[in-house]
Amino acid sequence: MTDLPLRRIAHLDMDAFYASVELLRYPQLKGLPVVIGGGRRKADEDLMLGDTSRALHEIPVAEFPLLRDYTGRGVITTATYAARQFGVGSAMGLMKAAQLCPQAVLLPVDFAQYRHYSQRFKAIITDIAPVMENRGVDEVYIDFTEVPGGQREGGRVLARLIQKAIFEDTGLTCSVGVAPNKLLAKMASEFNKPKGISVVMDEDLQSAIWPLACRKINGIGPKADARLQALGIHTIGQLAAAEPALLAQHFGPRTSAWLHAAAHGRDNSAVHTSSEPVSMSRETTFDRDLHAVRDRAALGAVFTRLCEQVAADLQRKGYMGRTIGVKLRFADFRIATRDHTIGAYTDQATTIRQAAGQALKRAPLDQRLRLLGVRVGGLLPAAEAVALAAGTRTAGSAATQDEHNSDAAQQAPLFSDI
DNA sequence: TCTGGGGTCCTTTTCCTT
DNA sequence: TCTGAAGGAAAAGGACCC
């Protein structure tokens, strides 16, 4: 038996990523309360980014839009520390935040910028450690196990190297946790924020993990936590000690087995270096709740626009799908979804619009709508979808696309298009 | 003037076919 | 022809995450 290298998995989390990127662009806002979020339309217009006669860092602070001037729906995506001191924070409604801190600068969410910096810091990581899994725009898992130096000080040396390389290239800081698996690495990365490095070994489970709240386990959200609390289980240690039969009774066989393994720090999942999207969607919340009949025209226009946006997303990214769905959020925040699967893969707005219209017909529309969304799932890379269609055609199946089109053409659209 | 948008995954229900 | 079982796919909902 040869000694296998110790499995060393890192979780890297950028520190206050969106806010930090904005402060790189607008250093004049450093130390001021800044809130990022809101309906993007209004905020985009308010920010005078179109003025190219001066650099971004030269824009006087007095010209930035303030939270007190914002009208409309929306929530805070993130806030700087200076703003948090006033009690505002993520997911808070902007109107409520404006009462708490009206003088805060309000910046729109600028995903293009965050994506740009995201690609930069990820490229730096893969130069050093190629086995990296994307977990959204500001987080990754990295497998240190086989990387030269990845075992030194349990991974701390390599973590330090990556932190330094990212900071030198982008000016951004991050926190890293290194552990035997993804589950523990994710928890470890939160131990020392910001700019922290935490190394967890198997033998640290009882001292470092078991005292933590169950909610710290990635996958235990507010609902599961409340159910655990009701059973008198508050910490991960208590969860580890819980009777498996009791957990199975309340959570079912699969979830209870997972809970038990997680509490004991066990997680065999691999670091996946690539993944294919499963669905793409667009949704929008209206400025005011809309009525299916009275606001027909407005709804129809939004509906069509969402379909066009999803189609454009699919085409730009090179995917086609055949399960088209709609999502409705009613005035009382209840959500309904309806799906409709069509015969042929598509990335065309008109086809998506027709199929989504079919799905929408089955949805209850007696209440005012707060949000409307359109989703395309069952995705395949466009080349594969086209090859598949060619294969089924030569195999002699009916021209499902034509059938579908003529069928849909006879259906009156639910929302009239204007 | 509470409560965004874009995803993934899992469970349960429903429907269809054999 | 009816009935029930079984299994799979699709649909619907929910929890969770960033």
Q: Which of A42-51, A53-62, A166-175, A220-229 has the highest mean pLDDT?
A: A166-175
The whole-number pLDDT of residue A414 equals: 59
The whole-number pLDDT of residue A404 equals: 40
Domains defined along chain A, listed by start: 17-111 (3.40.1170.60), 210-263 (1.10.150.20), 279-417 (3.30.1490.100)
CA dihedral sign, ordered A26, A29, A33, A39? negative
| Ramachandran angles phi, psi of A189, nearest 5° | -65, -15
Q: Which among A17, A65, A68 has a CA at the least distance from the CA of A41?
A: A65
A73-124 tens-digit pLDDT: 888 888 888 898 898 888 888 888 888 999 999 998 888 889 999 999 999 9
pLDDT level of residue A1 (50, 70, 90 thresholds) = low
DSSP state, residue A153: G
The whole-number pLDDT of residue A40 equals: 47
User: Which amino acid residue lies closest to nucleotide B6, measuring CA to C1'?
Assistant: A281
**Rounded distance in angstroms from the CA atom of residue A146 to the C1' atom of nucleotide C17:** 29
A350's tokens: 């008109």
The whole-number pLDDT of residue A153 equals: 97
Which nucleotides of chain B are near protein (any atom < 7 Å from a CB)? 1-12
A9's tokens: 């998995």
Asked if strand B comes closer than 7 Å to A392 Cβ, the answer is: no
Under 8 Å between Cβ of A107 and A56: no
What predicted TM-score, i.e. pTM, was given to this entire model? Answer: 0.89
Scanning every strand, the nucleotide with its C1' closest to A11's CA turns out to be C18
The whole-number pLDDT of residue A50 equals: 52
pLDDT level of residue A392 (50, 70, 90 thresholds) = low
A271's tokens: 């670091």
Helical H segments across A264-348, by residue range: 296-317
DSSP state, residue A345: E
- Angle of helix A17-25 relative to helix A111-128, nearest 10 degrees, comes to 110
A413 pLDDT exceeds 70? Answer: no
Q: Among residues of chain A, what percentage have pLDDT more than 90?
A: 58
Q: Which residue has the tokens 């824009």?
A: A59
**Rounded distance in angstroms from the CA atom of residue A254 to the C1' atom of nucleotide B12:** 14
A387 pLDDT exceeds 80? Answer: yes
**Rounded distance in angstroms from the CA atom of residue A2 to the C1' atom of nucleotide B7:** 42
**Rounded distance in angstroms from the CA atom of residue A3 to the C1' atom of nucleotide B6:** 44
Which nucleotides of chain C are near protein (any atom < 7 Å from a CB)? 10-18
Which pairs from A327-330 meet CB under 8 Å and 24+ separation? A327/A281, A327/A283, A327/A371, A327/A372, A327/A373, A327/A374, A327/A375, A328/A363, A328/A365, A328/A369, A328/A371, A328/A372, A328/A373, A329/A285, A329/A369, A329/A370, A329/A371, A329/A372, A330/A367, A330/A368, A330/A369, A330/A370
User: Which amino acid residue lies closest to nucleotide C10, measuring CA to C1'?
Assistant: A341
Asked if strand C comes closer than 7 Å to A383 Cβ, the answer is: no
Under 8 Å between Cβ of A78 and A16: yes
Scanning every strand, the nucleotide with its C1' closest to A378's CA turns out to be C10
The whole-number pLDDT of residue A140 equals: 95
Q: Which of A39-43, A234-238, A396-400 has the highest mean pLDDT?
A: A234-238
The whole-number pLDDT of residue A89 equals: 85
The whole-number pLDDT of residue A174 equals: 96
Question: Is residue A140 helix, strand or coil?
Answer: strand
pLDDT level of residue A145 (50, 70, 90 thresholds) = very high
CA distances from A220 to A183, A184, A196, A214, A231 (A): 12, 14, 24, 7, 15
The whole-number pLDDT of residue A37 equals: 85
Which residue did the predictor score with more confidence, A42 or A334? A334
Active-site residues of A, by number, are: 139
- Subset of residues 329-368 in chain A with CB less than 7 angstroms from any atom in strand C: 335-341, 359, 362
Q: Which among A273, A293, A297 has a CA at the least distance from the CA of A132?
A: A273
The whole-number pLDDT of residue A74 equals: 83
- Which residues lie below 8 Å from residue A261, measured CB to CB, with a gap of 6+? A267
A407 pLDDT exceeds 70? Answer: no
A243 pLDDT exceeds 50? Answer: yes
Scanning every strand, the nucleotide with its C1' closest to A137's CA turns out to be C18
Q: Which among A227, A224, A191 has a CA at the least distance from the CA of A207?
A: A191
- Subset of residues 211-270 in chain A with CB less than 7 angstroms from any atom in strand C: 217-225
Mean pLDDT over each residue of chain A, to the nearest integer? 87
Q: Which among A230, A264, A260 has a CA at the least distance from the CA of A248?
A: A260
Query: Distance between alpha carbon A36 and the CA centroid of its chain, in Å?
Result: 16
Is A57 exposed, middle or buried, given 0-12, 13-18 or 19+ CB atoms closer than 10 A?
exposed
- Subset of residues 37-56 in chain A with CB less than 7 angstroms from any atom in strand B: 39
Q: Which of A139-143, A366-370, A406-410 has the highest mean pLDDT?
A: A139-143
